[in-house]
Chains A and B, each alone.
Chain A
Amino acid sequence: MGAAYETIYFKADACDGCNECMSACARAKAQSDDQLQSRIQIVPSGEGFELALCRQCGDPECVLNCPAGALAKNAGSGVIAWDGSKCVNCLLCTVGCAYGGIAYDAQAGHVIKCDMCAGDPACVKVCTTGALKHVKTARIYNEVGNLEDLFAPGLSGCQGCNTELIMRHTLRRIGPDVVVATPPGCIPGMGSVGYNGLTGTKVPVFHPLLTNTASMLAGVRRHYKRMGRDVMAVALAGDGGTADVGFQSLSGAAERGEEILYICVDNEGYMNTGMQRSGCTPYGAWTSTTPVGERAHGKTQDAKNLPLLMVMHNCAYVATASTAFMQDLYDKLERAIEAAKTGFAYLHIYSPCTTGWRFPSDQNIEVARKAVETNFVLLWEFNPRDGLQLTHPAENAKPIDEYLEVLGKYRHLDPDQVEHIERTLANNLARIRGFAAAKGTASAEAGRG
C-alpha cells in the first residue's frame, strides 16, 4: 500500500477574500509584502473566491515535465520539492500543472510553489474563516492503511452504510488481539458474526444478547486479565441495545470500571428490525413506531443524551464522534483504546442510516457532516482528569434546516416542531458548555455521585 499525505483543503464558500493567506505566504517564503510572491493565490470568482495552489499531486505532471530533474515528490512528506540548483528556468513545469500550482515569480526570477511549510503551513494559520484547513487525515491512512481489515469483504450492509465504515475502521485500528461483541442489530445483521457456519469477522466475535453486551465482555476481559493476557474487549453495539434494554448492564459495567471499549453506533433507532423508535431517536423523527399521520407527527420526546449519561458514570473516557470527522474520530479511538486498558471507555459514534433516515446512499458522510455543522451532533470528549471539552467548534453553526431538509424522516416537520428541535439543541449545547466550563470539577462531582 502506498502512502497518503497531508494536504491543504480549500472551502470556496467560506473564503471572504481577505488575502491574509497570501500575505502570510509571501512573508514566510519571500520575506516580502508582495502578494504576487505568495505561492497560494486567491482569485475573485463572481461573488466569491477561488484558489490556485499546488495540489502536491500523487502523479505529478510537473515532475515528469522537468528536463533538469529539479522537481521531485518526496515519498515521505508527499511534498513536491523544487531544487533551485538544478532548475534551468525553462517553465515546462508550468505547462504540466493544470492547477496554477507552480508559476513564475518575476521578483524571484524562477518558478515558485507551495512546500507545505514543513508541515505547518503559514497560510492556514492566518485563515480565520475556515476556508483553508490543514488536513492531516493522511496520518490515519499511513498508520492503519497497512493494517488488516478484520472484517471479511462482502458484509451485507445496506448500500452506503456508515456503520460498516465504523466497524472496519475501528477494528483495523484495534487489531487482532481482541474479542468483539456485536449484540443483535445491524452489525451482526450484516453478517459480522456469521450465518450457517460462515463468519464475517476474522477475530473472535459473538452475539451477546441485546441486553448483556457489557457484562459478557466484562467476564471475558476479567478472566484474561486474571490469566495475565492482554486481550481487548470491544463492543460494537447499536443505540437501542445500548441506551434502552442494554443500559443496565452498560451502567453496571461502567460503574465497576470494567476494562472495556464500548462503541455505540448511534443510528437513532432500531434500524435492523425495521426502523423502530429507540431512546436515542430524536424528537420529531419518523420511525415505523412513531409514524406520521393525521394525529401523530413522529416522535414526541427528545433523545436521551446517552454519552452524557456515561460521563456521569465517571468513565475513564467518553467521547462523541462522527465519520465526517475521521481525524477526530481516530484521535478519540486512540484515547479510548488507551483508556480501556485501565477502565471503561465509551465512544458514541453517530451513524446516519441511509435506509432508515431516508436519504440517498451516496450522501452519508455529507449528512454526518451537516449533523455536526448544525450542532445537531456535538463532538466532545471527557476524561476524569480534564473534564469535558468540545472538540469541534460549536460557534457559527449552520441553520438546522440544512440538516433536517436532507432527511426524509423529518420531511413532515411543522415550524413548531423545528422550533422544538432548535430549543433542544440550544439546551444541549448550553448543558455541554456548562460541563466544559466546569472542567475537572464536574468529573470529581460525578465521581462522588
Chain B
Amino acid sequence: MHHAHYLIVGASHAALSALHAIRLHDTEGDVTLLTRDDSLPYSPTVLPYVVSGRSDPGRVFLRDEAYFAEHKVNYLRGANVRNLNAGANAVELADGSRIGFDKLLLATGAAPLLPPIPGLAGLKFHVLRTLADALALREALPQVKRALVLGGGLIGMHAAENLAKGGVDVSVVELQPHVLSGYFDAEAAGIIEGVFSSKGVHLLTGKSVASVAAKGAGCRALLADGTEIEADLLLVATGVAPVTDFLAGSGVATERGVLVDEHMRTNVANIWAAGDVAQARGFFSDSRIINGILPDAVDQGRIAGMAMAEDPGIKTYAGGVPLNTYSFFGEQAVSVGVHEGALDSSGVEVKKQVDAAAKRYLKIVLKENRLAGIFGVNSAFDPGIMWELILRAIDLGDEKLAFLRSPQDTARALMSRNWR
C-alpha cells in the first residue's frame, strides 16, 4: 500500500492551490494527488470554452508532467476514491487498491445535480462538469439545430451563448424569476437577458419542467405552464452538489458539503477539505456555506495546504464572499459581495446607476460606511480590490461619496494607500 504524507483527492483549483502551498513550506514530504480523470489537471470553468471551440482541449491543462516531477508530486490519474477509512488513515480506490496518508485533503469538488424531472432518467442528455462531458457535447453540436438548456446559471448561460453563436436555436428554462439569480438582481439580469434575447436565445424564466420524453433522436419537454419545447439536444445545468458520497461512514462530518473550520480542517484532525466540496463559514453570516466559486477554492486550498504543512504563516479563512465574473457576447458582468436583501437593513446604503439602453448597470451596497457588495454590467471596477475592501472592512470615511461616484479610481487609490 502506498503511503503518502500528504494525500490530496482531487486535482482542480483547490487541490492545486493546496499543493502549491505545501510545497512552499515543505519541499520534500511525499505528496500524492488523485484525480478521477484520465488527464492532467484542468478547471471545470474552462469547459464551456472547450465546447465552443475557443479553448483547444489539448491546451487547457493547469499543470504539466514537468511541474509534478519538479515538485516531486505523485500524480495518479483515473483514481476514483470509493471510500475513506479515517480510522486507518487510508482511502480505497475503485480498483480496490488502498492508499495510506498522514494528512488528507478532500478537494473532490462538485458534480451535476440532476433535477427530479419525470422522464429524465431514461433520456439521453448532456451535463458539463468534466472534460469528457465537454468533448461529448462539442461532438454533438454539428448535428444540433435546436437545443434545450435546463438551468440559467453560469454553466447554462455559457452553453446557451456558445450554442447560439453556432447557429443553434436555443431555449433556456430557469426556475427562478431571472437568470444568474445567485449573483445578480432582476434589473442586472434583465440587461443580460435582453442581450441573450437579442441574439435569439429563448429565455423561459420562472418556469419549471414538468416532464421530458424522447422524441426521435432528441427530446420533448413539457413545462408546468403547458409549453412544449422540442430539441435535438438537452443540456442539464440546474446546479451542482459536493461530491461526498465516498465519505459515508467515514466519520467525516458533512451537511450539504464537508464541514470545515477556519483552517479548512474537518472534524477529523488530519483531514481537511477545500473548494466546492467544502462547507465553510461565510463572510456575511455565521452559518457555514458552500461558496462554490473558483477564487474561493484557490483561497481555501492555500489555507488547507498551509495548515497541512504546518506553515506558521497561515492565516485564518476570512469567510466566503459570493463573487463572480461573467462575460457574454462581448459584455461583462461582475458581482462582488452581497445584495442589500441579504443584510440587516440598519446602516445599509444602496446606490444604483442603470442605463439599460447602453446595457450599463452599477449597484453599490454599503453597510455602515463599508463596502458590502458591488455589482456591475459593463461597469469598470476591479473585483479583486473590491473583494479586499470587503474583507478588510475598510471604512470609506470621507471618501464615501467619491467611491459612490467613481468606485474604480477611488478603490484603486484606497488600495494604493492602504496596502501598497
Contact = CB atoms under 8 A, between A and B. Distances in A.
A103 B60 contact: no
B46 A68 contact: yes
Nearest to B336: A95
Given A88-B46, A92-B45, A98-B388, A67 B416 contact: no
A100 B385 contact: yes
B330 A98 contact: no
Contacts of A92: 45, 294-295, 325
B271 to A, nearest CB: 23
Q: How large is the interface on B (under 10, 10 to 19, 20 to 34, 35 or more residues)?
A: 35 or more
B300 to A, nearest CB: 12
A59 B21 CA distance: 10
B62 A69 contact: yes
Interface string A83-104: 0011011111011111110011
A68 B384 contact: no
Contact of B413 (A10, A44, A90, A97): A44
A378 B282 CA distance: 56
Contact of B332 (A45, A91, A97): A91
Given A69-B61, A86-B59, A88-B55, A96 B416 contact: no
Given A95-B323, A96-B295, A52 B387 contact: no
B416 A12 contact: yes
Interface residues of A, number: 35
A109 interface: yes
A314 interface: no
A98 B415 contact: yes
B295 A45 contact: no
Contacts of B43: 67-68
A97 to B, nearest CB: 4
A220 B352 CA distance: 79
Contacts of A65: 13, 294-295, 298
Given A86-B55, A98-B384, A100-B382, A91 B416 contact: no
B49 A94 contact: no
Nearest to A12: B416
B334 A91 contact: yes
Nearest to B24: A59
B416 A51 contact: yes
B17 interface: yes
Contact of B384 (A10, A12, A99): A99
A104 B17 CA distance: 24
Contacts of B412: 41, 43, 50-52, 100
B420 interface: yes
Nearest to B61: A69
A94 B60 contact: no
Nearest to A99: B415
A22 to B, nearest CB: 13
Interface in A256-279: none
A437 interface: no
A50 B408 CA distance: 12
A46 B294 CA distance: 35
Contact of A103 (B13, B327, B380): B380
A69 B298 contact: no
Given A68-B46, A69-B59, A86-B59, A98 B385 contact: yes
A100 B59 contact: no
B16 interface: yes
Nearest to B20: A64
A61 interface: yes
A46 B16 CA distance: 41
A94 B298 contact: no
B61 A94 contact: no
Interface in B46-89: 46, 49, 54-55, 59-62
B16 A89 contact: no
Contacts of A44: 409, 413
Contact of A69 (B20, B60, B383): B60
Contacts of B46: 67-68, 88
Contacts of B298: 61, 64-65, 96
Nearest to B298: A64
Interface in A18-69: 41, 43-46, 50-52, 59, 61, 64-65, 67-69
Nearest to A64: B298
Contacts of B42: 67
B417 interface: yes
Given A65-B295, A96-B298, A99-B384, A88 B415 contact: no
Contacts of B20: 59, 64
Nearest to B154: A90
30 contacts: A12-B416, A50-B416, A50-B417, A50-B420, A51-B420, A52-B416, A59-B20, A61-B295, A61-B298, A64-B13, A64-B20, A67-B60, A85-B59, A86-B55, A91-B326, A91-B327, A91-B334, A92-B45, A92-B294, A94-B382, A95-B336, A95-B384, A95-B387, A96-B295, A97-B382, A98-B384, A100-B384, A100-B415, A103-B380, A106-B378
Closest 3 A-B residue pairs measured CB to CB? A67-B43, A50-B416, A91-B325
Given A65-B295, A90-B327, A92-B295, 4 more contacts: A45-B413, A90-B45, A103-B382, A106-B380
